[in-house]
Homo-oligomer: A and B are copies of this chain.
Amino acid sequence: MQAEIVSIGNELLNGRKVNTNASFMAALLAGIGIPIGRVTTCSDSMNEIGSVLEDALCRADYVLVTGGLGPTSDDRTKKAVAKLLHKGITFDAGAYDNLMSRMERLGRELSHSMHDQATVIEGSTVIPNTKGTAAGMIIGCGPRFGNHTLVLMPGVPAEMKAMMELTVAPYLSKLVSTAIAHTQLRTVGIGESTLADLIGEIEGSLPEGSELAYLPHTAGVDLMVSTRGSSRETVDRENREIADAILQRAGRFVYTIGAKSFEETIGELLLSAGKTIAVAESCTGGLIASRLTDVPGSSGYFLQGFVVYSNRAKENSLGVPKELIERHGSVSEEVARAMALGCLEKSGADYAVSTTGIAGPSGGSSEKPVGMICLGLARRGSREVQSKTLYMHGDRAVNKFRFSQAALRELWEIMKPPQE
């Protein structure tokens, strides 16, 4: 079984938008053992859509399409498909109900241009849209196209993702007979090449059917171990053995086995230890607090954050002594420690993490360059406050994220379960 992806939209052809939808769908399908043969991106033109879909349907069993289902006049996918397959467009009661209940919740009238959102290709199975108004569709294309199947979804990433996860992937995975196993190991505090040196031997002797992929991102490297084969049992065993071998060599850098984010991992450690946290941020500007509170249920351990950008805020809100700032500068381990300590006291939390540094692009000096960060970590019941200075080499956004990761890593290092 093979699938292709067709991405529709002028914004993908003029460079205004990166096609992240295609890679999301490809990764999800790879996970259930369906390879993607091609990805074709075409414009909103009726003719182009028709011609691209016709070619793709001749080659692939399943063609997954995103884009062109919205309410505006440049949304032409439905019309192009109806024309290609010689099918009508009909009103769908389920899609209409979804549309109306969304409008009601938003307290809006159904505008004229929205009416189309409740119509679908004749004979299609509707994919419910839990995040928006456009209905998705699964359409059998008949003997003219080798009984291949077309899947239409909106181009809005959140809508497409929900459809893929809730409907399309479960539907497709039932059709696949290959056994497949994946283990994701997420690391922090080690670069791609150092990690490759550490586990290179494992990579060199992978059994047939297994793959090891490095997925580096802004603040860490994820490893994905994939194994395919005909026997469920063998596939699972081989996959587990590779993951175990990696853990033995690089386990101290692995914060989770699975998809959990670093902030979720830390949240769970805090919850299970019954501890609370507060943060004092200068250069990270609220990003650590925002990342921690991205996790549902974070109110169970996150008490508060102080974003103390100005020196006055550091003094007034956290009691950092003015003399300390004058003597050492606001970017210094001394100030980082005083921030952590003040944060611990003011918040009543068990742990307090602090950041002060220079995210850039300006504000650096030869002594304190852009990318420099001082971190502090204070804990209740201990008079000792940890601190550390690190140097990053990204742009402002990358530095901010790496700063936040480094600060959270300090906490993780003292909370993580001991290695066997």
Interface flag for A213 (CB, 8 Å): yes
Assembly CA distance A105 to B370 (angstroms): 12
Give the nearest-CB partner of A362 in chain B.
Answer: B296
Give the nearest-CB partner of A308 in chain B.
Answer: B304
Interface flag for A398 (CB, 8 Å): yes
Distance in Å: Cβ of A291 to nearest Cβ of chain B: 8
Interface flag for A332 (CB, 8 Å): no
Looking at A13, A73, A102, the one whose CB has the most chain B CB atoms below 10 A away is: A13
Interface flag for A20 (CB, 8 Å): yes
**Stretch binding the partner chain, chosen from A170-178, A193-201, A241-249, A407-415:** A193-201
Contact A38/B38 with A296-B362, A303-B313 known, Cβ cut-off 8 Å: no
**Stretch binding the partner chain, chosen from A109-117, A121-129, A136-144, A231-239:** A109-117
Assembly CA distance A43 to B2 (angstroms): 13
Q: Are B10 and A30 in contact, with the CB atoms below 8 A?
A: no
**Stretch binding the partner chain, chosen from A83-91, A250-258, A282-290, A375-383:** A282-290
Which residues between 350 and 409 of chain A lie within 8 Å of chain B, taking CB atoms?
360-363, 391, 393-398, 400
Q: Are A396 and B296 in contact, with the CB atoms below 8 A?
A: yes
**Stretch binding the partner chain, chosen from A21-29, A266-274, A321-329, A333-341:** A21-29
Determine the chain B residues whose CB is within 8 A of the CB of A290 once the complex forms.
284-287, 289-290, 400
Assembly CA distance A225 to B212 (angstroms): 45
Q: Are B213 and A11 in contact, with the CB atoms below 8 A?
A: yes
Assembly CA distance A116 to B10 (angstroms): 38
Interface flag for A216 (CB, 8 Å): yes
Q: Which of B35, B113, B204 sits near A13, CB closer than 8 Å?
A: B35
Distance in Å: Cβ of A221 to nearest Cβ of chain B: 10
Looking at A24, A39, A102, A400, the one whose CB has the most chain B CB atoms below 10 A away is: A39
Q: Are B22 and A197 in contact, with the CB atoms below 8 A?
A: no
Determine the chain B residues whose CB is within 8 A of the CB of A309 once the complex forms.
293, 298-299, 302-305
Looking at A36, A72, A204, A279, the one whose CB has the most chain B CB atoms below 10 A away is: A72
Give the nearest-CB partner of A287 in chain B.
Answer: B290
Distance in Å: Cβ of A269 to nearest Cβ of chain B: 18
Determine the chain B residues whose CB is within 8 A of the CB of A226 once the complex forms.
14
Q: Are A305 and B305 in contact, with the CB atoms below 8 A?
A: yes
Interface flag for A64 (CB, 8 Å): no
Which residues between 62 and 120 of chain A lie within 8 Å of chain B, taking CB atoms?
70-74, 102, 105-108, 111-114
Contact A289/B307 with A14-B27, A105-B393, A296-B360 known, Cβ cut-off 8 Å: yes
Determine the chain B residues whose CB is within 8 A of the CB of A196 once the complex forms.
71-73, 113
Distance in Å: Cβ of A293 to nearest Cβ of chain B: 3
Interface flag for A297 (CB, 8 Å): yes
Interface flag for A183 (CB, 8 Å): no
Distance in Å: Cβ of A263 to nearest Cβ of chain B: 11
Interface flag for A52 (CB, 8 Å): yes
Interface flag for A147 (CB, 8 Å): no
Looking at A286, A294, A348, A363, the one whose CB has the most chain B CB atoms below 10 A away is: A286
Interface flag for A166 (CB, 8 Å): no
Give the nearest-CB partner of A40 in chain B.
Answer: B40
Closest 8 A-B residue pairs measured CB to CB?
Answer: A15-B27, A285-B293, A286-B289, A305-B307, A286-B286, A304-B313, A15-B26, A286-B290
- Can you list 6 contacts pairing A with B, beta carbon distance less than 8 Å? A14-B27, A294-B397, A296-B362, A299-B310, A304-B307, A304-B317
